[in-house]
């Protein structure tokens, strides 16, 4: 019967895990990198990877179905997206984020029912895990570097830094924002403030991308330690969602206290619309914070304005940038 309701939308949701794990397998087994290097048939891929031909063919065909590979006769080729983001060594490589996300999803989302029942994560938060597991801290920081490149590029384009001289990248992770800002603005100096194992990774990127004369790291915990000052801008990129509202107010207040007169808070995050049901990614990400952090959440723009007000700041502008993030520019009142 035409127009009949079917369970297809439910099936599509149920197989979402299949799709993400197929992507994970392709990255973990370096399939996209091998194809880029010229191993294009099942036989070539299996031999190069040291894997059985049967399972390699199944994986490659599934990746074609997901539009991550194309198939011409017996040969497989990367799509434009796969070539750009899933080939090791390329500047926009996103594979670290795929690997970290897949491994962490099993550890956290399997507890979703208990998290909703108790209104609490069943796992350690990120900071607690960093303190216990330095290898995880390094993996997570590299993954977040992949995820930060696009919004960092957008920040460079969206905001005029011609009058800025000193920037604090608070909880700056790999330093992606500071590094790209330094590359685009030779007059800028930036300090990446984060936990010790995170700064270890940031130092690697700073040296590799040759901005050590402009970007430095400072180790500490921004909830506990005194922050350096003064700065013309303070960047808070993907920080607020990991914390409960009261902690967010504390963080914003400490950030504002670091600013020169007329300085700006540049807040990048997965902001929800005020009804909190969209964008889809941000609504799901809020649940991701429930299962993976002690008190985190995706916040709406109005909730963020309220937290900024309690910290003595006001929103100057909200800027749409590519991807699920948005930029809130605020100043001290």
Look at residue 2 in the predicted model and tell me its pLDDT. Answer: 67
Contact 32, 89 (CB under 8 A): no
CA–CA gap between residue 125 and residue 296 (Å, rounded): 9
CA–CA gap between residue 190 and residue 258 (Å, rounded): 13
Contact 322, 147 (CB under 8 A): no
Give the CA angle between residues 259, 261, 262 to the nearest 5°. Answer: 95
The burial class, CB within 10 Å (0-12 / 13-18 / 19+), for 83 is middle
- 241 is an active site residue: yes
Query: How many percent of the chain have pLDDT more than 70?
Result: 99
CA–CA gap between residue 123 and residue 275 (Å, rounded): 28
- Note whether 8-93 and 115-332 share their fold: no
Omega cis (within 30) before 107 = no
* Six token digits for residue 9: 């939308």
190-237: per-residue pLDDT in tens?
999 999 999 999 999 999 999 999 999 999 999 999 999 999 999 999
Domain 115-332 CATH assignment equals 3.40.50.150: yes
Q: Tell me the C-alpha to C-alpha distance, in Å, between residue 97 and each of 3, 23, 105, 126.
A: 40, 12, 12, 15
Measured in whole angstroms, how far is the alpha carbon of residue 216 from the centre of its chain?
21
pLDDT grade, residue 106 (50/70/90)?
confident
- Which residue among 138, 145, 187, 241 is the active-site one? 241
Q: Tell me the C-alpha to C-alpha distance, in Å, between residue 208 and each of 164, 175, 199, 211.
A: 25, 12, 14, 8
127-131, 148-152, 216-220, 281-285: least confident range: 127-131
pLDDT beyond 70 at 59: yes
pLDDT grade, residue 128 (50/70/90)?
confident
Q: What's the mean pLDDT in 235-256? A: 97
Q: What's the mean pLDDT in 272-299? A: 95
What is the reported pTM?
A: 0.92
Question: Can you name the CATH fold of 8-93?
Answer: Arc Repressor Mutant, subunit A (1.10.10)
72: left (phi over 0), alpha (psi -120 to 50) or beta: beta
Residues 6+ apart with CB under 8 A from 43: 53
pLDDT beyond 90 at 114: yes
Q: How many C-beta atoms surround the C-beta of residue 38 within 10 A?
A: 8
List the chain domain ranges.
8-93, 115-332
13-52: per-residue pLDDT in tens?
999 999 999 999 999 999 999 999 999 999 999 999 999 9
DSSP state of 318: E
Residue 236's SS3 state is: strand
């Amino acid at each position: 019967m035409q127009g009949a309701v079917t369970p297809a939308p439910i099936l599509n949701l149920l197989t979402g895990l299949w799709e993400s794990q197929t992507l994970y397998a392709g990255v973990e087994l370096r399939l996209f990198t091998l194809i880029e290097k010229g191993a294009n048939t099942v036989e070539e891929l299996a031999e190069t990877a040291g894997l059985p031909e049967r399972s390699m063919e199944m994986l490659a065909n599934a990746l074609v179905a997901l539009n991550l590979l194309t198939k011409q006769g017996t040969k497989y080729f990367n799509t434009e997206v796969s070539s750009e983001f899933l080939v090791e060594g390329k500047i926009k490589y996103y594979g670290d984020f795929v690997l970290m996300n897949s491994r962490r999803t099993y550890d956290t989302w399997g507890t979703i029912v208990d998290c909703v029942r108790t209104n609490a994560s069943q796992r350690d938060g990120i900071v607690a895990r960093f303190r216990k597991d330095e290898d995880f801290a390094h993996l997570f920081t590299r993954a977040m570097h992949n995820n930060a490149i696009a919004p960092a590029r957008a920040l460079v384009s969206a905001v005029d830094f011609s009058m800025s001289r000193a920037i604090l990248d608070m909880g700056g992770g790999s330093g992606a924002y500071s590094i790209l800002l330094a590359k685009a603005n030779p007059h800028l100096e930036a300090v990446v403030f984060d936990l010790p194992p995170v700064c270890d990774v940031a130092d690697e990127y700073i040296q590799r991308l040759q901005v050590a004369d402009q970007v430095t790291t400072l180790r500490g915990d921004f909830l506990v330690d005194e922050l350096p000052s003064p700065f013309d801008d303070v960047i808070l990129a993907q920080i607020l969602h990991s914390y409960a509202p009261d902690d967010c107010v504390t963080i914003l207040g400490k950030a504002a206290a670091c600013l020169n007169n007329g300085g700006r808070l540049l807040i990048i995050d997965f902001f929800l619309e005020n009804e909190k049901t969209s964008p889809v990614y941000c609504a799901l990400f809020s649940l991701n914070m429930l299962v993976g952090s002690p008190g985190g959440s995706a916040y709406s723009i109005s909730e963020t304005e309220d937290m900024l007000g309690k910290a003595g700041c006001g929103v100057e502008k909200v800027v749409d940038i590519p991807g699920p993030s948005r930029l809130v520019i605020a100043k001290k009142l």
